[in-house]
Amino acid sequence: MKIAFTINGQAQSVDIADGNTPLLWVVRDILHLKGTKYGCGKAACGACTLHVDGEAIRSCSYAVKFAAGKDVTTIEGLGTRENPHPVQQAWMEYVVPQCGYCQPGFIMATAALLEKNPNPTDEDIDNNIVNVCRCATYVRMRKAIHRAAELKQSTSPTTNQ
Amino acid sequence: MKSSRLLFILPPFLFATILLAANMNSTENPSDDPTSNTHPTESDENFDKMMAVLTHQRCINCHPSDNIPKQGEDSHPHYFGMARGAGNMGFEAINCNACHQSENNDYSGVPGAPEWSLAPESMKWEGLSRTEIAESMLDRARNGGRSPHEVLERLTEHALVLWAWAPGIGASGKPREAPPVPVDEYIEAVKAWFEAGAIIPAE
Amino acid sequence: MSEQQGKRKVSRRKFLVRGGLGTIGLLTLGTYVFRNPLRRMGFAAAETLIPPYSGTGTEINLWFEITEANKVILHSPKVEMGQGTFTSLAQIVADELDVDMEQVEVKAAATETGIVDGMSTGGSLSIASLWMPLREMAATLREMIKTEAAAKLQRNVADLNTSAGMVSGGGQSLSYAEVAAGVQEWNVPDTPPLRPTKDYKFIGRPIKRVDLAPKVFGDPIFGMDAEMPDMLHACIIRPEHVGAKFKSADTRKAESMPGVVKVVQLDDWVGVIAESISQALAAKRTIKVEWDIPKQWTEADIRELLQVGKGNKMITQKVGQALEAEAEDVVSMEFTSPIGAHAQIEPNGAVALVKDGRATVILSTQVIGVTQRQVSEALDLPLEKVNIIPTYLGGGFGRRLNTSHAIQAAQMSRAVGRPVKYFFTRKEEFQNDTFRPPTHHIMRGKLTAAGRLEGLEHHYASGDVAINSVIVPQALHSILGTDIGAMRGANLYYDKVPNHRAVQWHTTLPFATSWWRSLGLLANIFAVESFVDEMAIRAGKDPVQFRLDHISEEGFGPRIRAVIAKAGERYRDGVVRGRAMGFAASIDGGSPAAHVVEVSIEDEEIKVHKVLCVFDCGVAVNPDQVRAQCEGSIVMGMSGAMHEKMTLKDGQLYPTIYGPYDMALMRNTPKEVEVVLIEGADTPFPVGEPPMGPIGAAVGNAVRRLTGKRLTELPLR
């Protein structure tokens, strides 16, 4: 079946036999965007988090057929080195990543959070950011999330996705 | 105490029963239909079947009394601290639909059905007796303002309810347990119970 | 140690130009090996000695490349798995080579192109072991460039200066790239004197990680991201039961599933190779495997096997007399820790191509050289025909000290003649991990009338850590007669206790156990420091002073005492507004750490509000990343000590997924984590693991003060 959607602002169409194939594998292996990670395949770790129509989605548990006609954003489309998303900017300011593998998932989850809750409290962060980081970079991540909220409020909305 | 409450909810149900009889049994001979029998013991049997389903973990897991969805056959609290949040859908960036879609996902073992969410706060069933659940279900103040007919429809037709009989496989690849009553039997029993006046047996 | 290191020089060798890749390159021949052989000074040395760095390779090996854009590429023999090594190595190179940070790029060396560490990346040793050789090589390269520049500029070497990748003198200047252009053969001068640490511009500064942008923008840098043209995807069926032996498999249905290219049955495993990973996984679900399961292991079986008093006994520390276990004035307590999983987020896997008598394997591994040997032996290919290309690792933590799954990827590739990518599913990760072994400890102590420790003993039972590991020569265990990994943190540093000893009981368990970040440290220090704290309470002494009273000024004593005293300034006994503090300290690999934690109990759960970590790793090449490692060690240590537990049930290890395998998340992380660094030595010491040591005991000690209850089991509950 042919499935058409927008990814990182570009129209995209994939031809795939099984529409139940997780979006994760379509993004990684067909569209060759490797920033969205496989961690558990069970929607438990959050490494595969991307946005579908602005909502944080765990793409290992999201059949590609559901993406039809929707707007998908991955870490590659969130920001660039020249124009980083406020979350990416804050992540660099606080030097959050260690091994880095889980970080795109955390960054995407945080970006989605800030769209809906521009000034999250510590409790909001605890409730919403439930991805798993084995290096346990949570100490800096919390600081970076607060910083990203600040940056986002002080930058124009056009710098966002 | 129970009977006095029943007085309030009986009249609409008598009305519902008439409607149901007209709507649903038109192709069948009423006299052959065992569910049309309002004999209390058979009504009780229908009630038992219905409640065996509604108190099963497939249903109760999303009708929590503590705002925390439950998971699995042992109804443990949903991992990762998921909770009701605003609109019964979890939190802003990690709502139900971050993982649960409108179908089960065999790759991840994550269950899914249309309108996947926690039942509203007024529909807390976890820990209630069967009688209390039935009362809650029929009480417009708690059931989302539904008429008995709407309740019946919800119970017998809504995809989220019927998902319980096609609950998919879990994260470990093993099938989830379905309620103890086959779906057809359950639907028949629910209909019969409503037709018979939705009489809630005394505890 | 530092004086001895200072005398070592890179021997005079030829540097050659590397051609054909569009870069101007420099190659070094041979390897850098410390002149001093590894000294064996008994168990104490084995625990604290920094082993020499020893590279592999008998062919031309690449350390540095200088590109036409005047950048320096360091081909690192160590991999980057989050510990920040690449950044510190870049700082070291920049300082001694006189280039800016932006001019240094660090790549993990592949077996074909560079020197890979013969042992591993692990033990928190990358910086400590490369500190001297890398500075010497960078300084030597700088001298070579100056010598060559002197010829090109027709000046004396002594008149030339180097800065930011430029050689200048007498109003003229050349970039390093210009100097290197066209050079066919280099003469290597004697290594110049290294600069004093205080003169460094980059070393000792909180430079931002060199891999920051790739990790924030989602670049494809990990093993899981590797691709080769025309690549297929595969998965393997691994046993669910402990000790299960493969009998047979019915793969008929799988073979006809969409996208399936081949189902491979080799030895004791079945692999499904398909056009896409979801097709491979879908086909895998249809395969029925018959296993021979000789025994349904249970948790009780393991506890029965693993006990102080059972297995192979070895006294790993012995001073004075043994305590009389049954005596009335001897206090005795038991402690346990559970099986732990690595749970690194990037699954193990590999992309392999075996064709025309050559094998290329791209993967996340801590053991590049070992993996090369394993693939070479399994596929019967000459070593030099196997190229292992390491990537950035999505977490190591010791799990990737055995990456023999590279063999299966290679075998599958050979079976189809195309590149194959293979990785573990998460369930396979959890059930086929090389687990942190469970432990059992008996602590004994005796107080004098004055409240001093007269005797202190740590009896500890553990499964394999170093024993049976592919990276440790078995001969070493014959010599030492003990598991040096299980021993980490087991020996007591309370050297003023007149009678003290540590006794190891080692048992090989029916499932693989091995290295897990900090090895035996987390569990051993939990037992030792919980017990010492309990003895302080019984002696009616302040826990900080009680510890100091029992540590001498000998050996590492002053550095341990310094971190304890510093952290102790912030420790207060007693319960304030429902919170209590806990204190604990440890030393690992020569790096002492002391933690003060502040804890309350909310909804029957232990909540850690604050952690202060005072840590001494000597020279902190990158203090910001040392802090990051402390923060990570603390929270991962809390996860290990307060949440995680694998259990044997009906012969299988559970759980098999995050969530049920409870780990510390954002909400479990203390809101305040403060790291104070003390530079108690003039060389770098291990960083990545030592700060994990005290955390379990510190939390347990706080709970003891809060509730009066001594927690003796991990995870703490």
Write down which chains contact chain A via at least 3 CB pairs under 8 A. B, C
Q: Which of A101-105, C131-135, C633-637 has the lowest mean pLDDT?
A: C131-135
Which is higher by pLDDT, C119 or C531?
Answer: C531
Give the range among C24-28, C262-266, C400-404, C456-460 with minimum mean pLDDT: C24-28
Query: Does residue B61 sit within a domain?
Result: yes
- The set of chains that have 3 or more CB pairs under 8 A with C is A, B
- CB interface of C with B, residues 606-665, below 8 Å: 656-660, 665
pLDDT band, residue A156 (cuts 50/70/90): low
In a domain, C428, yes or no: no
CA angle B98–B99–B105, rounded 5-degree value: 145
Q: Check C278 against B107: CB less than 8 A apart.
A: yes
Select from C83, C50, C122, C78 the least CA-distant residue to C683.
Answer: C50
* Neighbour tally for A19: CB within 10 Å: 14
Domain boundary among the residues C209, C239, C270 is at C209
C437 Rama class: left (phi>0) / alpha (psi -120 to 50) / beta: beta
Tally the domains of chain B.
1
Eight-state DSSP code of residue A145: H
A43 interaction partners in chain B (CB closer than 8 Å): 98-99, 108, 110
Q: Is residue B170 part of a domain?
A: yes
Q: Is B173 touching C (CB cutoff 8 A)?
A: yes
* Cα A36 → chain centroid: 7
Pairwise CB contact (< 8 Å): A56 & B99: no
Amino acid code (one letter) for B68 = I
Helix (H) or strand (E) holding C260: strand C260-266
Task: Tell which of C185, C209, C233 closes a domain.
Answer: C209
DSSP structure class, residue A31: S
Contact state of A61 with B101 under an 8 Å Cβ cutoff: yes
Percent of chain C with pLDDT over 70: 90
User: Is C714 within the bounds of a domain?
Assistant: no
For chain C, the domain total comes to: 3
Both C404 and C443 in one domain: the answer is no
Q: Is the dihedral of CA C209, C214, C215, C216 positive or negative?
A: positive
Pairing of strands C185-186, A10-15: unpaired
Question: Do C325 and C263 share a structural domain?
Answer: no
Interface check A1 vs C, CB under 8 A: no
B60-108 residue pLDDT tens? 999 999 999 999 999 999 999 999 998 999 999 999 999 999 999 999 9
Radius of gyration of chain A (CA): 15
Q: How many CB atoms lie within 10 A of CB B86?
A: 10
C353 shares its domain with C326 = no
CA dist list (Å): C122 to C40, C157, C305, C591, C704: 20, 40, 29, 15, 34
Asked which of B14-23, B107-116, C513-522 is least confident by mean pLDDT, the reply is B14-23
Residues C519 and C522: their CA atoms lie apart, in Å, by 7
- Please indicate whether, in this complex, the C-beta atoms of B92 and A112 are within 8 angstroms of each other: yes
Question: For C372-399, how does the pLDDT look when each residue is reduced to its tens digit (9 = 90+)?
Answer: 999 999 999 999 999 999 999 999 999 9
- What's the domain range around C184? 2-209
Angle at C498 between CA C496 and CA C504, to 5 degrees: 95
* C-beta of residue C79 within 8 angstroms of C-beta of residue C365: yes
Helix (H) or strand (E) holding B10: helix B2-24
Structure tokens at C82: 């989050």
Cα–Cα distance, A142 to A123 (Å, whole number): 11
Instruction: Look at C688 and C476; give whichever has higher pLDDT.
Output: C688
Question: Rounded to 5, what percent of chain B is helix, strand, coil?
Answer: 50, 5, 45
The 10s digit of each residue's pLDDT in C69-113 is 999 989 898 999 999 999 999 999 999 999 999 999 999 999 887
Residues C136 and C263 in one domain: no
Token output for A102: 């889980």
For residue C57, give the CATH number of its domain.
3.30.365.10
Per CB-CB distance under 8 Å, the chain C contacts of A3 are none
| Beta-strand pair C349-355/C652-654 | unpaired
**A84 contact C CB<8A:** yes
Is residue C501 scored above 80 in pLDDT? yes
Closest CA to B54 of B150, B129, B145, B139: B129
What residues of C are in contact with residue A38 (Cβ under 8 Å)? 224, 347, 423
Q: What is the pLDDT of residues A38-56, one digit of tens each?
A: 999 999 999 999 999 999 9
- The answer to whether residue C602 sits within a structural domain is yes
Q: Which two tokens stand for residue C659?
A: 């969530």
Q: How far is B117 from chain C (nearest CA, A)?
A: 20
B85 inside 8 A of chain A by CB: yes
- Give per-residue burial for C689-712: e unless 16+ CB within 10 Å, then b: bbbbbbbbbbbbbbbbbbeeebbb
Q: Is C191 left (phi over 0), alpha (psi -120 to 50) or beta?
A: beta
Please tell me what DSSP assigns to residue A102.
Answer: T
Beta strands C652-654 and C647-649, pairing class: antiparallel
Structure tokens at C60: 């031309």
Note which residues in 150-169 of chain B have CB less than 8 A from chain A.
none
C153-210 pLDDT tens trace: 999 999 999 999 999 998 999 999 999 887 777 777 778 899 998 899 999 999 999 9
A98–C83 CB contact, under 8 Å: yes
The phi, psi pair for C71, rounded to 5°, reads -110, 155
C18 contact partners, CB below 8 Å, separation of at least 6? C24, C25, C26, C27, C62, C65
* Residue C25: its H or E element: strand C24-29
Q: Do C357 and C455 reside in the same domain of the chain?
A: no
- CB proximity B81 to C under 8 Å: yes
C232 strand-pairing partners:
C420
Among B162, B158, B152, B155, CA closest to B23: B152
- Residue at C279 is within a domain: yes
What is the ipTM score, two decimals? 0.97
pLDDT at C544 over 90: yes
**Has residue C438 got a pLDDT over 50?**
yes
- Distance, in Å, from the CA atom of B13 to the CA atom of B195, rounded to the nearest integer, reads 8
Interface probe with A: pick from B84, B95, B105, most Cβ of A within 10 Å: B105
Q: Does A130 touch chain B (CB under 8 A)?
A: yes
Evaluate if residue C133 carries a pLDDT over 90.
no
- Judge whether C217 lies within some domain: no
The last residue of one of the domains, among C404, C423, C442, is C423
Nearest to A104 by CA among C155, C270, C216, B159: C216
Same domain, C98 and C164: yes
Confidence of residue B179 (pLDDT cuts 50, 70, 90): very high
For residue B170, the chain C residue with the least C-alpha distance is: C657
Q: Do residues C636 and C689 lie in contact, with contact meaning Cβ atoms separated by under 8 Å?
A: no
Residue C446 and residue C330: Cα distance in Å, rounded? 5
- Count CB neighbours of C475 within 10 A: 8
- B34: in domain: no
Model confidence over A88-108: pLDDT tens digits? 999 999 999 999 999 999 999
Q: Nearest C-alpha of chain B: how many angstroms from C239?
A: 14
User: Which contacts of C35-44 are long-range, i.e. CB under 8 A and separated by 24 or more positions?
Assistant: C35/C7, C35/C8, C36/C4, C36/C8, C40/C479, C43/C316, C43/C317, C43/C480, C43/C482, C43/C484, C43/C487, C43/C491, C44/C317, C44/C491
DSSP B65-105: SSS--EETTTTEEPGGG---BGGGSB-SSSBHHHH--SS-B
Q: Which of C555, C552, C558 is nearest to C495 (CA)?
A: C552
Q: What domains sit in chain A, N to C, each tagged with a CATH number?
A: 2-77 (3.10.20.30), 79-159 (1.10.150.120)
* In a domain? residue B125: yes
Domain annotation covers residue B91: yes
The H or E element containing residue C185 is strand C185-186
- Chain A stretch 46-75, residues whose beta carbon is closer than 8 A to a beta carbon of chain C: 47, 74-75
**Do residues C583 and C596 make contact, with C-beta atoms less than 8 angstroms apart?**
yes
Same domain, C463 and C354: no
- Buried b or exposed e, range C498-518, using 16+ CB within 10 angstroms: ebbbbbbbbbbbbbbbbbbbb
Average pLDDT, chain C: 90
Does C551 have pLDDT greater than 50? yes
Select from A128, C256, C97, C441 the least CA-distant residue to B92: A128
Same domain (yes/no): C534, C414? no
Residues of chain C in contact with residue B171, where contact means CB-CB under 8 angstroms, are 656-657
pLDDT number for residue B41: 67
Asked whether residue C317 falls in the same domain as residue C414, the answer is no
Q: What is the dihedral of CA C323, C326, C332, C333, to 10 degrees?
A: 130
> What span, in angstroms and rounded, lies between the C-alpha atoms of C142 and A65?
58
Instruction: Give domain status of residue B31, yes or no.
Output: no
Inter-chain contact C215–A103, Cβ cutoff 8 Å? yes
Strand order in the sheet with A55-58: A10-15, A2-7, A71-73, A49-52, A55-58
B183-195 and B148-157 helices cross at what angle (nearest 10)?
170
User: Which backbone phi and psi does B201 adopt, to 5 degrees?
Assistant: -65, 155
CA–CA separation, B75 and B70 (whole Å): 5
Using only the alpha carbons of chain B, give its radius of gyration: 18
Judge contact between C85 and C123, C-beta under 8 A. no
Let me know if residue C471 belongs to a domain: yes
In a domain, C546, yes or no: yes
Write the DSSP string, A3-22.
EEEEETTEEEEEE-S-TTSB
Q: Is A5 on the interface with B (CB under 8 A)?
A: no
3-state secondary structure of C562: helix
Does residue C523 sit in the same domain as residue C605? yes
Q: First and final CA of chain B: distance in angstroms?
A: 11
Using pLDDT thresholds of 50, 70 and 90, give the confidence band for residue C495: very high
Structure-block tokens of residue C341: 């999983």
Residue C429 belongs to some domain of the structure: no
Q: Is residue B186 part of a domain?
A: yes
- The minimal CB distance from A113 to the residues B92, B101, B102 is found for B92
In this predicted structure, which of A20-34, A142-156, C324-338 has the lowest mean pLDDT?
A142-156
State whether C365 and C276 are in the same domain. yes
Q: Which residue of C has its CA nearest to A80?
A: C217
Same domain, C71 and C55: yes
Determine contact: B172 vs chain C, CB below 8 A.
Answer: yes
Nearest CA in chain C to A124: C667
Q: Structural domain of residue B185, as residue ranges?
A: 2-23+40-195
Q: Report d(CA C99, CA C93) in Å as an integer.
A: 8
- The string of pLDDT tens digits covering residues C558-579 is 999 999 999 999 999 999 999 9
Closest Cα partner for C107 from C64, C53, C139, C55?
Answer: C64
Report the run of H or E that residue C697 belongs to, with start and end: helix C695-707
- CB count within 10 Å of CB C639 equals 23
C chain contacts of residue B107, beta-carbon cutoff 8 Å: 278, 281
The pLDDT tens digits for C216-260 are 999 999 999 999 999 999 999 989 999 999 999 999 999 999 999
SS3 B5: helix
Euclidean distance between CA atoms C325 and C683, whole angstroms: 42
